[in-house]
Each structure stands twice: as C-alpha cells, then as structure tokens.
C-alpha cells in the first residue's frame, strides 16, 4: 500500500502526524528533529521514521515504501522549498502539499506554489478561521453558551414524550455541550421508549437517560432545555409554565416560544443536524458514541435522506461518518420486534378503511405507542394511497400518527386544523401526530373506541375534503374509486357480480 510522507519540523507537522497516525494508510515521517522522532517511537508509532535532511536526495531515495503524497510542513519556508524540490525529483508522480508560514516572502510563496499541487497558506487559513468564528453559526454557539452559563445548578435536557432517535441524540449532544462549559446536565424524558429500534439504540450505545415521573418533583433541576420540541407541556409532561432556558428544534412552532435562547430552524430535516453545528463550533470534539447517535438521528428523521432533507443534513452526516461506528448502527437497525408491535400492525391492517387516496385505521387500546408510526408508514405502501392516519387509545387519551407522500398536503397543518382546538397536534408536511384527551367528550352509553373513531375520522376527513375540494367516500372490500370526467367528484361503486371494472360505463355509474 502506498504511504504518505510528512517532511519538516513544525507544530503543524506534529498535529498532522498525530491525527493521521491511526489512519488506514501508512505514514512516513522524515526530519532532522531527533526528539520529535524519539517521542513518536516511544508512543508506539506504527509508521516509518526517517532521520535525515529531507532536502538531501540520498535521504528520500532511501525510503523503500512507495510514496503517493508528500506533505512539506516546516516552519522555515526555505527548508520547505528545498524539500519539495527534492521530493519532486524523487517521487515525480506523488501528490504534493506545501505549507506557507506567515513569515514567507513573495519569492518563497511563488516557489512553493510552483512545486505543489496544493498550498496551505498560514495567513489565509488564519483569516478563514477568524471569519468562521464571527459567522451566524459561531454567534449561535456564543448565545447558547451564555444561556448555559446562566443556569445556576443542574440542567434538565428534556426530550419530547416517548423520544425517537433524533430527540435522544440531540439531548445527549446538548448534555455533553452543557457539561463541557461547566453546566451539569441530564438527558430526560417522560413516557417510555417502546419502539424496538429505539430501545436497541439506547442499549447498544449505552446512553444514560433519566425517565421522569409526572408526579415527581422537578426541584432538583435549576434549568430546563427542550430538544426536538419547543414548548413545555406540549408533547412533554412539564408544567406549561416551566421557565425554559434553551430550545433547539427543527419543527415549525405552532405558537410563541418563550426561552432565554431559542434556535428554531425548520429548514433542516433533523434536530441532530443543528447539534452537529454546535459541536463543530465548540472545542469539545465529537466522540464515537455521540457521532453514532447523531448520525442515526439524522438518518431516521430524514427517512434515510429521502424526507425533508436539506444540504446541511448531508453535510452534518458527512462530518459524522469518520467518527461514527457504522457496525453498531447495523446492529441497531436490525432489532427483534416486540409481539405487541406486531399485534398493533395487524390491527391497523385489518381495521383500515379507504377514503379515496387516504387510509385511516383505529387500533384500539395501545400497548406500544411507537407502533402507531410504524403502522402509518406500512399502510403508506398500499397501491394508490398517498395519506395514512392511524390512531389508538392509551387510557383515555387518543394518540394519532399520520404520513403522506406525493401530495401537496401539509400534514402538520392538516392535523392542527383537525385536532388543534381539542388537543395538541403538529409536525412536518409529510409526517405529523396528535394527542387528544377525551375528558368531557366521553359518555356512559357509548364505548370509548366509538367516541375516538367519530372524533378522529370525522374531523380528519372534513379537513381533507376541504383541502382537496372533493368528497371522500369509503372504499372497502372489492369496491372501486371511479373518477368522473364531467364533475370534480369521486364516487365509490361495486361492479356487478361476474363483471370487471372495465365493463362499467358512465350510465351504469
């Protein structure tokens, strides 16, 4: 295998060797700094160490390894020019990179540019670094740090109820950032983590989370941060008057967001993408566990980069790839499925009703709320279906999960219109959810499942019909949806026994 050759003695050379020493490509280090080479040897360096003047042809020609790239990184530009001239004669096919220190004169800069494929200019790099630190991203990091510094004690980083990988990863990353700036923090959630893939995600990565009891006191916390949602008491069980110090979310807010610092950007596909930016702007770095978690969060929330994905999502994922454990991700993505999840999926399929291009299904009492989202995703695979909604009951609360694709329907807005006045609802254009407390809508004579069906079906279909400007009939069994050419309506018909749909005429309809 070809090797990289690093020549020259400088702090940059030391940093570069330190970062590349464990790379899969072999490394050869050549310079006259005996102490530098001895330190590498004592530190169990696995590459090749060459003591000698890199401008001496005999030194470079004595290297037996095939070299495919030369990096000249000396603080003395004259040494860099000499080393590059020798390297060009010794390894004429190799890629070359030259470092131009701030003290280099015009002639030395011209020589390094002439001898290399790529130049690293210290002055230009410093200017770029300074510019990056006064961008919007750096400003956001400064504001976040001020908010964290103002918390006098422990911070609770609260995810939404029954958190998904994006919420979990974002909470873990924000917890690390808070602790890095001296603010003790704990990643917390209400509800349960019931989705088998989410449980595997937490267990395999050994993520430390605290499950909060709705009846327990929160006085142990001196500050609160919300990730992947933006308002206390909405999709979490915090008191709705809880003072919030930090909010970081990628969902469009339905109402005003009150927090010391709020970062709400709905033009990205995952909250994890936003946390990658903060980690890049800090000095903490991104360790393997955090990188793996954030990458998984981005992949899940963007449906493997197919749903509401943006350039920052791709850029964040690319940043995480080198540090993430891809083998662990494969283990997380193939967990066993709980029996109650299969039961919910089966009930969703059995109980489905077709309303034109929409499918609705009630699954009754829930044992696993996460199964609703899986069922909504599965039903979307039915031919000709563009919108699905699945709902179930947990005690006396209705939970709704909906999906859409290939339409101009904004599902988040549709669910807010349907259920916002009687519960909480929201989400994205193609995936959304709702939560409705039955309360006064119950009566002693009507089974609770019938009440839920009436509320969910009637309200959601009313919104769909208003937005699509046509009535939606129920299509079941062997019935078919026929589009009339004369009017903008749809009617449901069943072909006579022994006849096919093709045999029907406008008169028979």
The overall average pLDDT reported for the chain is 85
Confidence of residue 475 (pLDDT cuts 50, 70, 90): low
Q: How far apart are CA 275 and CA 247, in angstroms?
A: 12
**R_g of the chain, CA atoms, integer Å:** 30
Question: What is the reported pLDDT for 496?
Answer: 42
| C-alpha distance across the termini of the chain, in Å | 73
Model confidence pLDDT, tens digit, residues 195-229 = 778 888 998 899 999 999 988 899 999 999 999 99
> Per-residue pLDDT averaged across 326-344, rounded?
80
In the predicted model, is pLDDT for residue 165 greater than 70? yes
Question: What is the reported pLDDT for 42?
Answer: 80
Q: How far apart are CA 382 and CA 389, in angstroms?
A: 13
CA dihedral (126, 128, 130, 136) in degrees, to 10, reads -170
Question: What is the reported pLDDT for 253?
Answer: 82
In the predicted model, is pLDDT for residue 430 greater than 70? yes
Question: What is the reported pLDDT for 480?
Answer: 37
Question: What is the reported pLDDT for 388?
Answer: 96
Q: Which residues contact 208 (CB under 8 A, 6 or more apart)?
A: 187
In the predicted model, is pLDDT for residue 190 greater than 90? yes
Segments making up each domain of the chain, as ranges: 3-129, 136-332, 339-468, 477-509
Query: CA-based diameter of the chain, in Å?
Result: 98
In the predicted model, is pLDDT for residue 494 greater than 60? no
Q: What is the 8-class DSSP label of residue 475?
A: B
CA neighbor of 198 nearest in space, from 169, 173, 175, 237: 169
Confidence of residue 22 (pLDDT cuts 50, 70, 90): low
Instruction: Please classify residue 47 by burial: count the beta carbons closer than 10 Å to its beta carbon, then call 0-12 exposed, 13-18 middle and 19+ buried.
Output: buried
Question: What is the reported pLDDT for 130?
Answer: 61
Question: What is the reported pLDDT for 335?
Answer: 63
Q: Are 48 and 29 in contact (CB under 8 A)?
A: yes
Neighbours of 379 (CB within 10 A): 23
- The CATH number of domain 136-332 is 3.30.230.10: no
- Residue pointed to by tokens 């939606």: 472
> Measured at the alpha carbon of residue 74, what is the angle toward residues 72 and 77, in degrees to the nearest 5?
95
Range with top average pLDDT, 1-5, 253-257, 259-263, 402-406: 259-263
> How far lies 69's CA from each of 72, 125, 170, 178, in Å?
10, 21, 39, 40
Question: What is the reported pLDDT for 133?
Answer: 54
Question: What is the reported pLDDT for 255?
Answer: 77
Instruction: Please classify residue 401 by burial: count the beta carbons closer than 10 Å to its beta carbon, then call 0-12 exposed, 13-18 middle and 19+ buried.
Output: buried
Question: What is the reported pLDDT for 436?
Answer: 92
More confident residue, 438 or 186: 186
Range with top average pLDDT, 13-17, 25-29, 350-354, 481-485: 350-354
Question: What is the reported pLDDT for 35?
Answer: 86
Q: Are 3 and 66 in contact (CB under 8 A)?
A: yes
Confidence of residue 487 (pLDDT cuts 50, 70, 90): very low
Q: Which residues contact 306 (CB under 8 A, 6 or more apart)?
A: none
Determine the topology of domain 3-129 in CATH: Rossmann fold (3.40.50)
In the predicted model, is pLDDT for residue 176 greater than 80? yes
Q: Are 288 and 329 in contact (CB under 8 A)?
A: no
Q: Which residues contact 439 (CB under 8 A, 6 or more apart)?
A: 396
In the predicted model, is pLDDT for residue 311 greater than 70? yes
Q: Which residues contact 251 (CB under 8 A, 6 or more apart)?
A: 228, 229, 230, 264, 266, 412, 426, 427, 428
Question: What is the reported pLDDT for 389?
Answer: 96
DSSP string covering 121-167, please? Answer: EHHHHHHHHHHHTTSHHHHHHHHHHHHHHT--SPEEEEPPSS--HHH
More confident residue, 401 or 502: 401
In the predicted model, is pLDDT for residue 438 greater than 50? yes
Question: What is the reported pLDDT for 177?
Answer: 96
Q: Return phi, psi of residue 464, to 5°.
A: -60, -45
Model confidence pLDDT, tens digit, residues 245-304 = 999 999 888 778 999 999 999 899 999 999 999 999 998 889 999 999 999 999 999 988
Q: Are 60 and 66 in contact (CB under 8 A)?
A: no
Q: How far apart are CA 236 and CA 284, in angstroms?
A: 29
Neighbours of 418 (CB within 10 A): 25
In the predicted model, is pLDDT for residue 340 greater than 50? yes
In the predicted model, is pLDDT for residue 499 greater than 80? no
Confidence of residue 23 (pLDDT cuts 50, 70, 90): low
> Per-residue pLDDT averaged across 462-469, rounded?
91
DSSP reduced 3-state for 44? coil
More confident residue, 137 or 260: 260
CA neighbor of 276 nearest in space, from 240, 321, 233: 321
The structure tokens listed for 454 are 């009436």
Q: Are 293 and 163 in contact (CB under 8 A)?
A: no
> How far lies 240's CA from each of 150, 236, 440, in Å?
21, 9, 21
Lowest mean pLDDT among 43-57, 324-338, 345-359: 324-338
Model confidence pLDDT, tens digit, residues 64-88 = 889 989 999 888 889 899 999 999 9
Q: Using a pLDDT cut of 90, give the percent of the chain over it.
A: 48
Domain covering 339-468 in this structure, CATH number: 3.10.310.30
Confidence of residue 479 (pLDDT cuts 50, 70, 90): very low
In the predicted model, is pLDDT for residue 37 greater than 90? no
């Amino acid at each position: 295998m070809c090797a990289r050759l690093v020549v020259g003695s400088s702090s940059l050379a030391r940093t570069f060797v330190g970062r590349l020493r464990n790379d899969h490509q072999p490394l050869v280090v050549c310079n006259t700094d005996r102490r530098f080479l001895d330190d590498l040897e004592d530190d169990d360096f696995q590459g090749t160490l060459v003591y000698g003047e890199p401008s001496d042809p005999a030194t470079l020609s004595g290297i037996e390894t095939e070299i495919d790239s030369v990096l000249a990184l000396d603080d003395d530009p004259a040494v860099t020019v000499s080393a590059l001239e020798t390297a060009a004669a010794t390894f004429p096919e190799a890629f070359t990179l030259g470092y131009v220190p701030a003290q280099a004169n015009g002639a030395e800069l011209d020589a390094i540019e002439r001898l290399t494929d790529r130049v690293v200019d210290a002055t230009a790099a410093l200017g770029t670094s300074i510019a990056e630190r006064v961008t919007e991203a750096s400003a956001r990091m400064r504001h976040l740090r001020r908010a964290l510094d103002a918390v006098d004690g422990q911070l609770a980083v609260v995810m939404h109820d029954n958190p998904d990988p994006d919420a979990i990863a974002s909470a873990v990353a924000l917890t690390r950032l808070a602790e890095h700036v001296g603010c003790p923090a704990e990643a917390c959630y209400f509800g349960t983590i019931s989705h088998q893939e989410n449980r595997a995600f937490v267990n395999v990565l050994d993520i430390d989370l605290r499950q909060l009891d709705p009846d327990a006191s929160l006085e142990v916390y001196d500050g609160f941060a919300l990730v992947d949602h933006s308002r206390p008491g909405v999709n979490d069980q915090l008191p709705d008057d809880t003072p919030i110090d930090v909010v970081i979310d990628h969902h469009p807010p339905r109402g005003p967001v009150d927090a010391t610092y709020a970062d709400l950007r709905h033009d990205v596909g995952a909250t994890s993408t936003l946390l990658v930016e903060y980690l890049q702007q800090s000095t903490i770095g991104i360790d393997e566990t955090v990188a793996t978690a954030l990458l998984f969060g981005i992949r899940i929330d963007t449906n493997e980069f197919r749903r509401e994905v943006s350039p920052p999502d791709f850029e964040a994922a690319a940043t995480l790839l080198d540090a993430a454990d891809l083998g662990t991700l494969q283990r997380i993505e193939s967990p066993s499925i709980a029996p109650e999840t299969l039961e919910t999926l089966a009930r969703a399929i059995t109980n489905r009703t077709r309303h034109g291009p929409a499918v609705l299904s009630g699954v009754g009492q829930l044992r696993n709320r996460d199964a609703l989202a899986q069922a909504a995703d599965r039903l979307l695979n039915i031919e000709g279906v563009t919108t699905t909604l699945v709902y179930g009951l947990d005690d006396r609360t209705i939970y709704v999960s909906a999906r859409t694709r290939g339409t101009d329907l904004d599902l988040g807005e549709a669910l807010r219109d349907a259920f916002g006045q009687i519960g909480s609802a929201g989400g994205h254009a193609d995936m959304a959810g709702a939560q409705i407390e039955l309360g006064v809508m119950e009566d002693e004579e009507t089974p609770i499942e019938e009440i839920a069906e009436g509320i969910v079906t009637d309200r959601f279909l009313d919104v769909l019909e208003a937005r699509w400007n046509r009535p939606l009939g129920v299509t079941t069994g062997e019935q078919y949806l026929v589009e009339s050419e004369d009017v903008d309506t749809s009617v449901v018909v069943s072909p006579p026994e022994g006849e096919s749909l093709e045999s029907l005429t406008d008169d028979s309809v």
